[in-house]
Amino acid sequence: MTDSNQSTSGPDTGAEPAPDHSARNRLVIGLLLVSTFVVFLNETIMTVALPRLMIALDVDASAVQWLTTAFLLTMAVVIPVTGFLIQRMNTRPIYIMAMSIFTVGTFICAVSPGLELLIFGRVIQAVGTAIMMPLLMTTVMTLVPPESRGKTMGNISIVISVAPAIGPTISGFVLNYMEWRWLFILVLPIALLAMAVGSRWMKNVTEPRYAPLDFLSVVLSAIAFGGVVYGLSSLGGEGTAKIAGMPAWVTLVIGAAVMVIFILRQFTLQKKDAALLDFRTFQSGNYAICLTMLAISMMTLLGTIILLPIYTQNVLGIDALQTGLLLMPGGLIMGLLAPSVGRMYDKIGARRLVIPGTILVSGVLWALTTVGEDTSIWNILIGHMILSVGLALIFTPLFTAGLGAVPPMLYSHGSAMLGSIQQVAGAAGVALFVAVMSIQTRMAEEAGMSATAALTSGIRLAFVCGACIFLVAVVLAFFVRRPPAPEAPASA
């Protein structure tokens, strides 16, 4: 009665397929996990490097910020299309395509002589990254039985939460001893190895099916998600960046308006099973709750990752390497806890994990609202470690319970939707935290405060906003449920 879908030695007329499929599935998921971890490191690896790049490339802050903005923007534009790609293509070719694109982008970044080509390389990297995460999610939901998904999703949460969290740490180490190009040179052989191993060992584990592509939806999604993410990311800077002569807030409004049109069109197309993103995933209340909590958690994670280095370097006066070391224990804790949290989910469900997790995160955010110029570095270290424990208790159960509540035929749409919302939420978190900090800092300086005191007050107010928003996640945690085990479907 235990381990229902594991290979056993019991007598079975189909003795060969069970062990073969089990080994094949573990290999495929393992390759996808390692590859996705590598590509997701690039989402935040540039955070600490931007000041160094401003000097090395002789550019200002508004220009160098495009290295992060362009990456997020491309992710937001490409992810909605991945649902269609995963339905139409086999696992192996789509994996090779994603890793090849990412490797080419990494090579371009490593040899870039200036900012323009470096931004182009980041865009190419982001295309490959955008394909990998929905592919991993959909494959796991297809191959892993419900009673074992928590453990596997725990490994996925390492990719989604830990890889971005330790990006600044790795960046700090590299930049302390080498020039910025090594951020990409060191990744390049790993990406090439992953592509070579995948080309040799990756298996096709899903059956492609016909899925129509609505080109108008692709255009609308690019404008909608791109406009929203670009607008939020630009507002998170100085709010003065322009595209096609328009201020950032105009692109945000246009993106939001087109988003409404895009959603309405999907409602029409999904009646014919032709939607680019099928919003029938939201017919599950559990999926909607989990997605909302994940969005708030990503806002918190990325907003905190942005603010803490600013605080430690500009207020407490420690350098980039020390900041990376300060944030490393939290990232390691999140990674070490994720598989255990997944196994706990399989036993006790989601609610008893996410409730204490959200309470821990909320407590740390409120504690961060009290930071000052003389706050002990040990308090920041302990606070970040507790924050990481809380997020580890949140991510895995929400991924598993949320996607588990979606009908199997909508797995690719559910994972693509999750990835799209993550990018928008991450950009919104960075925009909110940085914009509130900037506005309050400016007002405090005008009131006569010193630069350091003004920045500290801005950081405190940003954490107040984050803490208030996270209270919504605390409330929603009481409504998360473990999805019922679906009936075993016929072979797809």
Q: Tell me what pLDDT residue 490 has.
A: 40
pLDDT for 203-218, tens place per residue? 766 666 666 677 888 8
Q: Are 311 and 371 in contact (CB under 8 A)?
A: yes
Q: State yes or no: pLDDT of 104 exceeds 90.
A: yes
Secondary structure letter of residue 408 according to DSSP: G
Domain 22-479: give its CATH code: 1.20.1250.20
With beta carbons less than 8 A apart as the criterion, state whether 293 and 480 touch: yes
pLDDT of residue 243: 52
Query: How far apart are alpha carbons 343 and 274 in whole angstroms?
Result: 37
Tens-place pLDDT, residues 12-39? 444 444 444 667 677 788 888 888 888 8
CA dihedral angle for residue 23, residue 24, residue 27, residue 32, rounded to 10 degrees: -150
Q: What secondary structure letter does DSSP report for 192?
A: H
Confidence (pLDDT) at 378? 92
Condensed to tens digits (0 to 9), the pLDDT of residues 59-85 reads 776 677 778 777 877 877 787 787 777
Average pLDDT along the chain: 80
Q: How many CA atoms lie within 13 A of 278 on its CB side?
A: 25
Mean pLDDT on 410-435: 79
Give residue 165's pLDDT: 64
pLDDT at 316 over 80: yes
128 within 8 A of 101, measured Cβ to Cβ: yes
Is pLDDT at 2 greater than 70 in this prediction?
no
pLDDT digits (tens, 9 = 90+) for 220-258: 888 887 788 777 766 655 444 455 556 667 888 888 899
Write down the domain spans for the chain. Answer: 22-479
Find the mean pLDDT for residues 418-438.
Answer: 80
What pLDDT score was predicted for residue 361? 94
User: Across 139-153, 278-292, 406-420, which has the greatest mean pLDDT?
Assistant: 278-292
What's the half-sphere exposure (Cβ side, CA atoms, 13 Å) at 120? 10
pLDDT at 467: 93
Rounded to whole angstroms, the Cα distance separating 249 from 234 reads: 8
The answer to whether residues 331 and 165 touch, using CB atoms and an 8 Å cutoff, is yes
pLDDT score of 160: 67
pLDDT of 251-276, one tens digit each?
Answer: 888 888 998 998 898 888 887 777 77
State the CB neighbour count (10 A cutoff) for residue 60. Answer: 8
Adjacent-strand bridge partners of 243? 246
Q: How many CB atoms lie within 10 A of CB 457?
A: 19
pLDDT at 15: 44
CB atoms under 10 Å from CB of 193, counted, come to 14
Q: Are 239 and 248 in contact (CB under 8 A)?
A: yes
Query: H/E/C letters for each residue in 426-477?
Result: HHHHHHHHHHHHHHHHHHHHHCCCCHHHHHHHHHHHHHHHHHHHHHHHHHHH
Report, as an integer, the average pLDDT of 351-374. 93
In DSSP terms, 242 is beta-bridged to 247
CA gap 488, 482 in Å, rounded: 17
Q: How far is residue 123's CA from residue 346's CA, in Å, rounded to a whole number? A: 38
Burial (CB < 10 A; 0-12, 13-18, 19+), residue 238, is: middle
33's tokens: 């996990």
- Residue 292 burial (10 A CB sphere; 0-12, 13-18, 19+): middle
- Specify the 3-state DSSP secondary structure of 245: coil
**Does 290 score more than 70 pLDDT?**
yes
| Cα–Cα dist 353/38, whole Å | 28
What is the CA 358 to chain-centroid distance, rounded?
18
User: What confidence tier does 10 reach under pLDDT thresholds 50, 70, 90?
Assistant: very low
pLDDT value at position 62? 64
Q: For residue range 171-184, what is the model confidence (pLDDT) as tens digits?
A: 777 877 888 888 88
Q: Round to whole Å and give the CA distance between 432 and 438.
A: 10
Helices (H), 207-247: 215-235
Strands (E), 174-282: 242-243, 246-247
**pLDDT > 90 fraction of the chain, expressed in percent and rounded:** 16
Please compute, for residue 304, the number of CA atoms within 13 A of its CA located in the half-sphere on the CB side. Answer: 33
**Structural contact between residues 165 and 301, judged by C-beta atoms closer than 8 angstroms:** yes
Print burial letters for 393-415: b (CB count within 10 Å at least 16), e (below 16). Answer: bbbbbbbbbbbbbbeeebbbbbb
Q: Which residue has the tokens 């204490």?
A: 356
Candidate from 41-50, 138-147, 265-274, 472-481 with smallest mean pLDDT: 41-50
Q: State the average pLDDT over residues 359-385.
A: 92
- pLDDT of 356 higher than 90: yes
User: Looking at this protein, which amino acid is placed at residue 333?
Assistant: I
Residues 111 and 103 sit within 8 Å (Cβ to Cβ): no
What sign results for the dihedral spanned by CA atoms 342, 348, 354, 357? negative
- Residue 273 main-chain phi, psi, to 5 deg: 55, 40
DSSP letter for 44, please: T
In this prediction, what percent of the chain has a pLDDT beyond 70? 85
pLDDT confidence of residue 1: 39
Distance CA 4, CA 7 (A): 9
Helix, strand or coil, per DSSP, at residue 489: coil
